């Protein structure tokens, strides 16, 4: 039986580990997605009346930024297809790795909504004078790149394609340079360094590896950053000019900038609102901290020390070793801004899902929908419904409770079908995706090796 929202104020103690999903609010966001069909607007950036500064490892905030489709069902299908491809890319990179043995920086971050993307975009200036581009923000990649003229093959993007000849600070790297040698697949053309990145979904970028100045807003720039200038590119990049790599490897932006920390807050995926990507900023005081782990076999991914998962206030029973990094480098849990839906290895996912189903018998089960195997038809008579609380458990008894909208999401136009936004995977790697990170500031303290989650800090 459904419990109307009007009863929430008198909930008994047995209901303390349940919360109310704002069905009307979630559907309103979805309807706004359908009604918005105008070109993407650039988010407002706070301008500071001061001369340009050179980055010096002090705090630096960038604003984070969504895109529109006339049909929410097709948007869902597109997002999930890209998400499956992105996860294949993560697993492919892991397999490859295993086989081998301060001025304030701030940039806007938005949802990729208008480009039918489940990823988040950051607005970055490239070159001198700076030209601004929307780039996919990805904590699961190292090499940053953007499409460049002349194009041998380029996909469609929302911004004009970057012209390196128009930048006074563009400088090709030599084949023997340290940063060229650090590439997974370096190449050499007439003494110039070439790069190529092939993702698990067969998307690719190939071009010249060069040093360039990147800018955060109008007042801070970072010189001599190695980026890919892609002349041959293809795949599911959904209108972005390229990719902004925030992984843990030597070629990622945080590593090249020698940042001590970075953080972002992901706005609602169906929203046109923006938030920020910050470098070297202070985390909120009420954060839930978790260990930031390293995997000696792969330095790109950001692993977190997740010890368990609770549903309805009850710890789900499974061996905690299923969430740990094995001696062979397999397993573990990564936090990834580029993955939409969280993936749990099947030995973890099945008991978590079953616990959620058992505590959601008041909901009308609606079967499967694409990669989701637990969906519900929510009644039109209620604006809110009661759902069991979900939380991530970290070492030392630390606990991060997720908002209901971070694990129950609408999937179809013109319906009230909501799905449990986790999925199982046959592999050993688990991934905390961006749906579960929505609405909270995620801080990566690289100096002290922990991740901090701060709800409601966008």
Q: Which of 22, 69, 159, 336 is catalytic?
A: 336
Q: Are 117 and 79 in contact (CB under 8 A)?
A: yes
Other CB atoms within a 10 A radius of the CB of residue 218 amount to: 17
Q: Which of 69, 83, 138, 142 is catalytic?
A: 138
Half-sphere exposure of residue 418: CA atoms within 13 angstroms, side-chain side = 26
Burial class of 58 by CB neighbour count within 10 A (0 to 12, 13 to 18, 19+): middle
What tokens were used for 212?
């360039």
What tokens were used for 185?
């697949």
Closest by CA position to 255, among listed 70, 399, 57 = 57
Closest by CA position to 221, among listed 132, 331, 156 = 132
What are the CB-based long-range contacts (under 8 Å, 24+) for 34-37? 34/68, 34/69, 34/70, 34/71, 34/72, 34/413, 36/68, 36/114, 36/272, 37/68, 37/70
Burial class of 89 by CB neighbour count within 10 A (0 to 12, 13 to 18, 19+): buried
Burial class of 383 by CB neighbour count within 10 A (0 to 12, 13 to 18, 19+): middle
List beta partners, residue 276.
108
Q: Cβ neighbours of residue 317 under 8 Å, at least 6 residues apart?
A: 351
Q: Is 336 a catalytic residue?
A: yes
CA–CA distance, 147 with 233 (Å, rounded to integer): 7
CA–CA distance, 315 with 211 (Å, rounded to integer): 49
Half-sphere exposure of residue 48: CA atoms within 13 angstroms, side-chain side = 14
Sign of CA dihedral 308, 313, 314, 316: negative
Q: Is 138 a catalytic residue?
A: yes
Q: Give kind and range of the element (H or E) at residue 225.
A: strand 220-234
Q: Are 210 and 171 in contact (CB under 8 A)?
A: yes
Q: Are 256 and 244 in contact (CB under 8 A)?
A: no
Look-up of token digits 């843990």: 248
By annotation, the residues acting in catalysis are 138, 336
């Amino acid at each position: 039986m459904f419990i109307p929202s009007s009863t929430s104020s008198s909930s008994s103690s047995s209901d303390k580990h349940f919360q109310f999903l704002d069905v009307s609010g979630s559907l309103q966001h979805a309807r706004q997605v359908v009604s918005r069909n105008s070109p993407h607007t650039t988010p407002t950036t706070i301008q500071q009346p001061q001369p340009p500064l050179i980055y010096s490892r002090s705090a630096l905030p960038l604003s984070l930024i969504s895109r529109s489709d006339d049909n929410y069902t097709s948007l869902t299908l597109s997002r999930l297809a890209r998400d499956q491809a992105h996860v294949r890319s993560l697993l492919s990179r892991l397999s490859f790795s295993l086989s081998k043995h301060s001025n304030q920086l701030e940039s806007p971050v938005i949802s990729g909504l208008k480009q039918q993307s489940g990823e988040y975009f950051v607005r970055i200036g490239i070159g001198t004078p700076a030209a601004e581009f929307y780039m996919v923000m990805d904590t699961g990649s190292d090499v940053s790149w953007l499409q460049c003229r002349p194009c041998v093959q380029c996909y469609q993007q929302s911004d004009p394609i970057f012209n390196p000849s128009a930048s006074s600070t563009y400088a090709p790297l030599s084949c023997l340079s340290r940063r060229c040698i650090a590439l997974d697949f370096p190449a050499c053309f007439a003494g110039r360094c070439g790069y190529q990145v092939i993702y698990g979904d067969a998307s690719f970028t190939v071009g010249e590896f060069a040093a360039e100045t990147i800018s955060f807003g109008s007042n801070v720039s970072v010189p001599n950053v190695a980026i890919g200038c892609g002349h041959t590119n293809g795949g599911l990049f959904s209108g972005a000019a390229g990719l902004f790599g925030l992984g843990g490897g030597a070629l990622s932006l945080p590593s090249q900038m020698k940042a001590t920390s970075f953080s972002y807050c992901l706005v609602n995926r169906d929203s046109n609102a923006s938030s920020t990507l910050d470098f070297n900023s202070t985390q909120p005081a009420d954060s839930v901290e978790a260990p930031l782990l390293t995997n000696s076999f792969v330095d790109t991914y950001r692993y977190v020390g997740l010890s368990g998962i609770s549903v309805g206030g009850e710890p789900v029973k499974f061996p905690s070793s299923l969430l740990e990094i094995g001696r062979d480098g397999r397993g573990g849990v990564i936090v990834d801004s580029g993955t939409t839906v969280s993936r749990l290895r099947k030995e973890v996912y099945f008991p978590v899902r079953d616990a959620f189903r058992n505590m959601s018998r008041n909901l009308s089960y609606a079967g499967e929908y694409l990669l989701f195997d637990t969906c519900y038809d929510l009644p039109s008579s209620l604006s809110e419904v009661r759902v069991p609380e979900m939380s991530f458990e970290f070492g030392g008894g630390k606990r991060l409770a997720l908002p209901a909208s971070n694990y129950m999401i609408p999937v179809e136009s013109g319906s009230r079908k909501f799905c449990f936004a986790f999925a199982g995977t046959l592999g050993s790697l688990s991934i905390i995706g961006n749906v579960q990170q929505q609405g909270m500031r995620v801080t990566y303290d690289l100096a002290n090796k922990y991740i901090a989650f701060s709800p409601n800090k966008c």
